[in-house]
Amino acid sequence: MDFIDLHSHSTRSDGVLSPVELVEKAHASGVRVLALTDHDTMMGVPEAMKAAEKLGMRLIPGIEISTTTHGRGCHLLAYFDRWEMTATFAQFMQQRLEARERRFDEMVGKFGKIGIAIDAARVRKQANGGAITRPHVAKALLEQGIVKDYQEAFDKYLGNGKPCYVPYEKLPTADTIKEVHQHGGFTSVAHPGLEKFTEQEISDLKAAGLDGLEVYHYDHDASARKKYRVIAEKLGLLLTGGSDFHGNNHRSFYTSNTEKGGVPLHIVEPFLEGVRRAAAKAAA
């Protein structure tokens, strides 16, 4: 049985598997169409694509971009038809890595004020040139013996409103959609149910050029899947879906292609055609 997963993360952002390990695990799980969508970076895509080619898998170059709309965060997924077309977009996203560096520096300063010396070199080594995220900081706290587990790191220091929390500089969603389109990409709002986006808010993003909606997500229950599928179909948005796999024990790759428990097979061809159309439109 072949499965589809259009939302996954590697060590290039906040996953625990390298891009190659991620592809190999997905393939072993039966995934045959996979998108690597690290946070604010595409640095892991080339090696993931090489690994996928060896295994006979389809790897979609992707990214999950931190944006803001309607007064709150919006994770925007962007997908590209070919890696070669993302070079200038990758340059644009380099600015986001620099923003994450500034955020991390501010976190280090806040830890210092409460008497905790974060090993910044350890955190940067974990990020391996990719996006520095709060899970990287949490791992350093754990390895330094400051907390007993990841949850304590967020509960005491890194969660929203905690003493070392620093908000991330996010791009406006509508502007980011336009930027992705200029580079030939296809856009989809990730896990809209987690942010409780309304039909009107999604409609506003559709008016800004949004292409798709992540209806099938690990944290969407049956009612959320139905709700956002109806909204997507009403607004003429293509359906996307993925487990949001990070390599921890919280979730696994989809090993189902049903409406209830995975990404249904019938969405794949319309999605891939949408990705191809986005590329063709930018090249015209």
Stretch 225-231: mean pLDDT: 97
Closest CA to 3 of 245, 283, 247: 245
Instruction: Assess whether pLDDT exceeds 90 at residue 161.
Output: yes
Rounded CA-CA distance 151/241 in Å is 27
Alpha-carbon distance 6 to 211, whole Å? Answer: 15
The answer for 116, left when phi > 0, alpha when psi is -120 to 50, beta otherwise, is: beta
Strands (E) in the chain, as ranges, are 3-5, 31-36, 58-69, 72-79, 171-172, 186-189, 212-217, 238-242
Query: 43-67 pLDDT, tens per residue?
Result: 899 999 999 999 999 999 999 998 9
Position 256 scores a pLDDT of: 83
pLDDT of residue 70: 94
- 1 pLDDT higher than 70: no
pLDDT tens, position by position, 234-273 = 999 999 999 999 987 667 888 788 888 899 999 999 999 9
Closest CA to 169 of 132, 116, 211: 132
- Mean pLDDT, range 135-141, rounded to an integer: 90
pTM of the predicted model as reported, rounded to 2 decimal places: 0.83
Segment 58-117, tens digit of pLDDT: 999 999 998 999 998 899 999 999 988 887 888 788 777 788 888 899 999 999 999 999
Expressed in angstroms, the distance from the first to the final Cα of the chain is 38
3-state SS, residue 274: helix
Cβ atoms 166, 109 nearer than 8 A: no
Average pLDDT over the chain reads 92
Residue by residue, DSSP assigns 185-233 as -EEEES-HHHHT--HHHHHHHHHTT--EEEEEETT--HHHHHHHHHHHH
Tokens read off for 204: 């506003």
